[in-house]
Amino acid sequence: MKHKNKQTSDQSFMVFDLYEQIVNANNYIDYQKLLATVLLENQIGFDSKIYKEFENSYLLGLKNHYDLVLRDFVITFNVNLKISSDLLVPMISASESSNTDAINLKQSKDEQYNKFLNTFNDCLISLIKQDLCVEIFPKIIIFKSKNTDKLKIIFDKTKVLTRG
């Protein structure tokens, strides 16, 4: 049993080491750059009502482990046995979970906020298609695997959440 726990711990550290490697890579786009681009395109600032709504939405989702629904994928929170059997970690899914609430970052009925969300999703996917690693939310990075051409998510150890 000890060997299995050590192996899980080693894999956890590998995930966090990969996070540090990506943050220091040349193809890394941080959250501030991503959002500055989106805000510039929408001719608004970090102090705008629209940005504050976006920020409050994703922070609520992260705090409560809600699914974060984007146009092309969903960030969900679940147990990943490679990391731990009792911690929730961000994961990528094709659809939202049926047993947790979700934050819609795909579209809005409000015209200005919808434009912002469209720009955010367009910019995000464009950068990922350019083989860039994008910090979509603070300490959470999305990128496309060179081996499988599938989206991957990596995160700082501060984004590992205790179950419950």
pLDDT in tens, 49-68: 999 999 999 999 999 999 99
Neighbours of 77 (CB within 10 A): 23
Can you give the pTM of this predicted structure?
0.85
Where residue 98 falls (left for φ over 0; alpha for ψ -120 to 50; beta otherwise) is alpha
| pLDDT in the model for residue 5 | 44
Dihedral sign for Cα atoms in the order 58, 156, 80, 35: positive
Instruction: Quick: pLDDT tens for 93-119.
Output: 999 888 889 999 999 999 999 999 999
| pLDDT in the model for residue 84 | 64
Mean pLDDT of 140-162: 84
Residue 45: pLDDT over 70: yes
Q: What is the C-alpha to C-alpha distance for residues 10 and 5, in angstroms, rounded to an integer?
A: 9
Residue 18: pLDDT over 90: no
For residue 139, which of 19, 17, 51 has the smallest C-alpha distance? 19
Torsion of Cα atoms, 139 then 140 then 146 then 148, to 10°: 150
